[in-house]
Structure 1
Amino acid sequence: MSSSLICENTVRKVSSVFQHDTKHFGKNNMFDGNEETCWNSDQGVTQWVTLEFPHTVRVSQIRIQFQGGFASEMCTVKGCRKGEELSHVAEFHPEETSSLQSFSFKETQLDKMKIIFDNNTDFFGRLIIYQLDVRGEKV
């Protein structure tokens, strides 16, 4: 049975934060369980989130909730084990909606993952994500 793989020791990085306002729009807002807070990226062609897990995990699903109008039409997942280069894991195509969406893919064992957001629906390339969860099992 899968469960959330993101914990307090998961290292989280993002491509940008709107107006550098990490309090209101920072990366941790995606993981706090509060539906009122979000990560809001700054402008840019490609945005991304990286997660470095404190232990090896088997990833099989990503759950994500965008703000409609500030979504991504294509997401690429890359991952690797410690000491390796990132390689392609999966890609998925979210809908432009404010609903929570789930994307399952072939179970992959990794220590680090990067989710790349392309073809963002906002004219300036901004993203707004209220929830992001990575599901699977600890190894």
Structure 2
Amino acid sequence: MLNMAASLLHEKTQIRVSSVLNRDVKQFGKKYLTDEEEDTCWNSDQGCPQWILVDFHRDVKVKDIQLQFQGGFAGKECWVESGKEAVHMSKTADFYPEDINSLQTFTLSEEPVATVMRIIFNSSTDFFGRITLYKLDILGEPS
């Protein structure tokens, strides 16, 4: 029987971000990455790289990353780092999003087993390096 990947984000998952536009967390904070609302988003401040750190608080096998950018504010050269703790992570996949508004899914060929993972947006389609992200989901299974 084929095991379907499900969202690995749950109430104990902790998310940190590199920055928030003008430090305005009420309007552009990390909580909007996973709130399932179409009109809310995380908006980074300017500068590269930007990143999202996800602590699952358990070992998981990551299969897919789903991201929905605002066109004009998408990541260009991106990668995923994963490991058992934030200070000891290794690069597990590179990916290159399109500069579009629709949901994009990136399948990780290695399917790393990790407790923490960082998504790095090394560059942006925005001249100032800002990232605007309406949706984040990480799919896989408990390890």
- TM-score range relative to shorter protein: over 0.9
3-state SS of the aligned residue for 1:72?
Answer: coil
Question: 5 Å matches for 1:76-87?
Answer: 76-82=79-85, 85-87=88-90
Q: How big is the shift at 1:36?
A: 0.7
Change in 2 beyond 3 A, CA 1:81/1:17: same
The RMSD of aligned alpha carbons is 1.2
**Deviation of 1:11 (Å):** 1.0
What secondary structure does 2:77 align onto?
strand
The number of residue pairs the alignment matches comes to 139
Structure 2 counterpart of 1:91, from 89, 94, 104 = 94
Work out whether 1:128 is the aligned partner of 2:132: yes
Q: Deviations over 1:18-60 (max 9, x none)?
A: 0111111000101000011000000112100000112110001
State the 1:84 CA deviation. 6.6
Deviation at 1:108, TM superposition (A): 1.1
Residue type at the aligned position of 1:6: L
Structure having the higher strand fraction is 1
User: Aligned equivalents of 1:60 and 1:108: distance in 2?
Assistant: 8
Alignment partner of 1:112 out of 106, 109, 116: 116
Equivalent of 1:44 in 47, 56, 69: 47
Aligned with 2:123: secondary structure? strand
For residues 48-92 of structure 1, give each alpha carbon's deviation from its aligned partner in whole angstroms, at most 9, with x where no partner exists. Answer: 000011211000110000000000111110000248711011010
CA contact (8 A) 2:59 2:114 kept: yes
**Could you say what secondary structure the match of 2:120 adopts?**
strand
Decide which of 24, 44, 62 is 1:59's aligned counterpart.
62
Runs of 4+ residues over 6 Å off in structure 1:
none
Structure 1: stretches of 5+ with no match in the other structure? none
